[in-house]
Chain A
């Protein structure tokens, strides 16, 4: 088991380096100059410009810039944004909000998705199954921002059940609607995955044997069907954390949440490339870590994976 975790950790390193390099190259090699974004219309005096370039490491080759940046990130230093403030301060402020939002979204999508998926899978072909399937298709097809706006107008503006804008330091109740909207699409995928997986497991031999031994249907579902069906679902939810980070940009924009997503969005609008790179790097790190956790969970759930590849 430890061997397995160690091997997965080693695999993450090249992926992390590659992904950050890719972001770095995309950001800084396309001809845009962050110094120009600071200067605006007027040209800066050459001495000031040279000093700024040195401050942001822009006078060095791009690979050296990237290397210095990564060394900083490992030490928890994301560099300075274009206003000259440390980016880590912004991230410290914004990250807990987004983390709260994303975790709530994952919990909501997992609970509702798995419960609905198990019901649909056990009753495959009935009207309950069809209803859940249609609902999931609808949620996938309607973009998150439309769901968000409609929910905001109906629940927030007209029924006044939830606050329209969330603002700083949101409470659990404030985040409930945004988290539901954020998790909606993934809820549909979790539902469909669970349904397919459960329906595949219901006629399996070991389930039939357990039933023949007289196991109650509750124990049958929880011990023999669910445990086997959850493996692909767990994988999906882990990989989905990354997509949720991307989706947070939209959700945070709609509900005015001051999280990582709106930090990224504002940085893009101001062409603040150091902040953009840092936020995307942070999201990639989170994605990789959550995938690692999923792989370990996967090995716990399915002993075959632990033993298959040494």
Chain B
């Protein structure tokens, strides 16, 4: 609206522009095209995400990380598990860009191959914990009543045992089973509580809305109502929490491996490598820094992605 079209306010407080009737004939109003479908929350979110620098940076980083996960061979031809004590603790060279570790492993290759371990553990733990948490939270929130009371206490029980602590206790029990799935299982068992609480809250918020009532009135069953109307509309906070959780799980896995109750030493992982590198920290500090940087960049990308998605799905928080 150009300033010269702005008419003086006839009364104090009525400062907005009112077009004279002669300028806007009724046929213009009628001609307004309202046949276009309204943009859904997801379309709107995608629209604002593509304009968010935080999202673009984290998306590019994650795309790169996923490429490393899928094709580690593009970056290094060295075998990360081929160590020879003859070339232990070498300085960086053309053959070993980051040098070699105390056991003579090529550090660059181990950082590259470690990406896969961290991302796989983080991703599957995220999937596992989100499925458990969403199912339990939806049950509590949707059914309500005494079911909610009991389920919520069960959530409290698991919530009372911190993730790392619980994982250490059962992780120590499973020692000797050389599989990353043990770590995924252990972390999922204790990592679902925040998803459950958030799902419960969101489901309670959605289930009393008019469109759910309308669907019930039209004869939809309780379960199909939950799956088709309630859960899809409660999805936004779950997705945001799950994305941030992914980063948390990667850190948790590294911490467990560092403590020696996580991944078996045969698996190439950042946590395990950081733990090994601590012994030569004073003489070769960079051996610890390389896997740490890989870990930090990966976790940072997922946390930034979660932040960006939250802002996009909750425009209220972003406006200011």
Interface size on A, residues (CB 8 A): 49
Is B173 interfacial (CB-CB < 8 Å)? yes
User: A11, A15, A138, A253 — which one has the most chain B CB atoms within 10 A of its CB?
Assistant: A15
Q: Among residues 122 to 172 in chain B, which have CB atoms less than 8 Å away from a CB atom of chain A?
A: 153-154, 156-158, 160-166, 168-170, 172
- Of residues 255 through 310 on chain A, the ones whose CB sits less than 8 Å from some CB of chain B are 264-265, 268, 271, 276, 280, 283-284, 287-288
Please give me the residue from chain B that is nearest to A276 by CB atom. Answer: B169
Q: Is B209 engaged at the interface, CB distance under 8 Å to the other chain?
A: no
In the complex, the answer to whether A22 meets B158 with C-beta atoms within 8 Å is yes
Judged by a CB distance under 8 angstroms, whether A242 is at the interface is yes
Contact (Cβ within 8 A) A141 B299: yes
A231 at the interface (CB under 8 A from B): no
Q: Check A19/B255 contact, CB under 8 A, given A137-B304, A249-B168.
A: no
When the two chains form their complex, are residues A137 and B303 in contact, meaning their CB atoms are under 8 A apart? yes
Given known A153-B285, A276-B169, contact A246–B300 (CB-CB < 8 A):
no
B247 touches A18 (CB 8 A): no
- Interface mask (A159-186 → B, CB under 8 Å = 1, otherwise 0): 0000000000000000000000000000
CB B224 to nearest CB in A, in angstroms, measures 32
A247 close to B (CB within 8 Å): yes
Task: Check if B225 is an interface residue, CB within 8 A of chain A.
Answer: no
> What residues of B have a CB within 8 angstroms of the CB of A199 in the complex?
320
Contact status A287-B160, CB under 8 Å: yes
Chain B hits for A32, CB < 8 A: 173
Contact A144 B300 (CB under 8 A): no
Q: Mark each residue of chain A from 172 to 214: 1 if its CB lies under 8 Å from any CB of chain B, else 0.
A: 0000000000000000000000001001101100000000000
Within the complex, what minimum Cβ distance (angstroms) separates B235 from chain A? 22
Residue ID in chain A nearest B316 by CB atoms: A200
CA distance A242 to B299 in the complex (A): 22
Given the contacts A30-B173, A141-B247, A283-B162, A18 and B154 also touching, CB distance less than 8 Å: yes
- Cβ–Cβ < 8 Å partners of B254 in chain A: 143
- Inter-subunit contact B157/A26 (CB<8 Å): no
Q: Which residues of chain A are near B249, meaning CB under 8 Å?
A: none
Distance from B200 Cβ to chain A, minimum over Cβ atoms (Å): 16
Kindly state whether residue B292 has any CB partner on chain A within 8 Å: yes
CB distance from B48 to the nearest CB of A (A): 16
12 residue pairs of the A-B complex, CB under 8 angstroms, read A15-B157, A15-B160, A26-B170, A141-B251, A141-B297, A141-B300, A146-B296, A196-B317, A245-B165, A246-B165, A250-B258, A280-B169
Of all A-B residue pairs in the complex, the 8 with the closest CB atoms, nearest first, are A18-B157, A141-B300, A246-B162, A246-B164, A141-B299, A246-B165, A146-B292, A15-B156
